[in-house]
Structure 1
Amino acid sequence: MNPESLVVCDDVARTYGTGPAAVVAVHGSSCIVGSGARIAIAGPSGSGKSTLLHLMAGLERPTRGTVSWPALGSGDERAQDIGVVFQSPSLIPALDVSENTALPLVIAGVAEPDRAQRVAEALALLGIDQLAGKLPEEISGGQAQRVAVARVLAQRPRLLLADEPTGQLDRAAGQRLLDALLDATDHLAAALVVTTHDKAVIERLETRWTMHEGRLHTTIAPAVPS
């Protein structure tokens, strides 16, 4: 059975600015992310991989080409189907871990009983349920990044896009976070796309793409057993 196409980029490009000062972050790039995918987009800083991820998420519009989400909803429904994890956790200092995790659900109008269940499930999936009542200042950087992931997983997305999620963590903490990401996306049957320049992360994902100077190159390689 062929996987559903969750996001399709067709000859997308993204340019910032105009005239001589214009910067092309992504040149004409095409790719498909299917259901169940586990994809690493590798490349150095400034190669355009974060911009491509933002295009996939619908956070930015392409200057040229099209991005479509054939198997996902539209509008607010699609926003719930796509979860984005950024490099910085960006937790609200005045809210505890449970409240930070619940925030997108509150904004989306999810009823309290369902909200509480989703938050508890997400924190348990990330192994941080014991931190539920703690404030961001009371937890470590690695724990804060797990909270950021839990906040996205509580939405129960079908597509999870993670932008350098281990970039601010040491190797051990990064591997633990990746373990949790893989376990959680397996549990949710969600597709996972990770941008990274970390070789240890790249080797854990079965499909490897690379970006160089804004150009996407898609390749497939077997995952290295963990």
Structure 2
Amino acid sequence: MTAADLLIDCQDVARTFGRGPHAVVAVHGSSCQVRAGARLAVTGPSGSGKSTLLHLLAGLEQPTSGTVSWPASTGPHDIGLVFQGNSLIPSLDVAENTALPLVLAGIRDDRARHSAEAALALVHAAELADRLPEELSGGQGQRVAVARVLAQAPRVILADEPTGQLDHATGQHVLDALLAAADRIGAALVVTTHDPSIAARLAEQRPMHNGRLLPAEETS
């Protein structure tokens, strides 16, 4: 690996919400690096700080102390974030939802539609293009949420409990789609999860406990 492979560098980061006696320390003393090709699972129960850490890595939250930087990119917009819920807009069909971030970024409608359709095909959801979100199952909605991120061709995909609201089989299918799509576009992938069967499918595991990211565990 070279310096150019370092996509996210997180050093001794802390994030505190509130002040005084009511302050809550969500993340503290945590460091990690995300390099090109990474397949990382951040594990731990609800409330351990996983989501806050992911938001720090994405640039959605600013650290209270420590630093987060994106050395080999032009900033957080090279990062795609998949939330636990699919966050689709009810009045837009699947293709429109998938294309929306591109349209908002100023890309012409026809080019955005083409990129959206290609991304839906990557997660085996092309046949859903004309459906409304209310017509989708939970697994289908999450695959569309993955496609919406892929359409932007990010260098890093951060997925926050993407299978947390799904049954085991559906969750595995969504992870299949995430892994295959990340391989296809050459993106690093970081997944937060409390499910050991999901974490075991990624090459590296970093447990979180009480807001602190612990040393890496290599899967067999």
Rounded to whole Å, the distance in 2 between the matches of 1:206 and 1:198 is 15
* CA displacement at 1:213 relative to structure 2: 0.2
Partner of 2:16: 15
Rounded to whole Å, the distance in 2 between the matches of 1:86 and 1:19 is 30
1:121-160 mapped onto 2 (5 Å cutoff): 121-160=118-157
Normalising by structure 2, report the TM-score: 0.97
* CA displacement at 1:153 relative to structure 2: 0.6
1:46-65 mapped onto 2 (5 Å cutoff): 46-65=47-66
Alpha-carbon deviations, 1:25-57, whole Å to 9, x = none?
001111100010000000000000110000000
Alpha-carbon deviations, 1:185-225, whole Å to 9, x = none?
000100000000011101100000010000101213135xx
Answering whether residue 199 of structure 2 is matched by residue 199 of structure 1, we say: no
Residue 92 of structure 1 aligns to a residue whose secondary structure is: coil
Equivalent residue letter for 1:192: L
Rounded to whole Å, the distance in 1 between the matches of 2:196 and 2:111 is 38
2:162 aligned residue (162, 165, 177) = 165
Rounded to whole Å, the distance in 1 between the matches of 2:5 and 2:139 is 33
1:219 aligned residue (210, 216, 219) = 216
1:110 aligned residue (107, 114, 118) = 107
Rounded to whole Å, the distance in 1 between the matches of 2:141 and 2:30 is 33
CA RMSD of aligned residues (A): 1.1
* CA displacement at 1:103 relative to structure 2: 0.7
**Native 8 Å contact 2:96 2:113 kept in 1:** no
Answering whether residue 26 of structure 2 is matched by residue 25 of structure 1, we say: yes
Rounded to whole Å, the distance in 2 between the matches of 1:9 and 1:219 is 14
Identity of aligned residues (%): 63
Alpha-carbon deviations, 1:118-165, whole Å to 9, x = none?
111110011010010001111111101111111111000000000000
Answering whether residue 41 of structure 2 is matched by residue 44 of structure 1, we say: no
Runs of 4+ in 1 over 6 A off after TM superposition: none
**Greater mean deviation of Cα atoms: 114-123 or 88-97:** 114-123
* CA displacement at 1:116 relative to structure 2: 2.0
Rounded to whole Å, the distance in 2 between the matches of 1:203 and 1:62 is 29
Equivalent residue letter for 2:46: S
Rounded to whole Å, the distance in 2 between the matches of 1:201 and 1:122 is 23
Partner of 2:84: 87
Partner of 1:120: 117
Equivalent residue letter for 1:72: S
Rounded to whole Å, the distance in 2 between the matches of 1:216 and 1:156 is 28
**Native 8 Å contact 2:56 2:63 kept in 1:** yes
Normalising by structure 1, report the TM-score: 0.94
Alpha-carbon deviations, 1:43-80, whole Å to 9, x = none?
00000011000000000000001100001103xxx41x
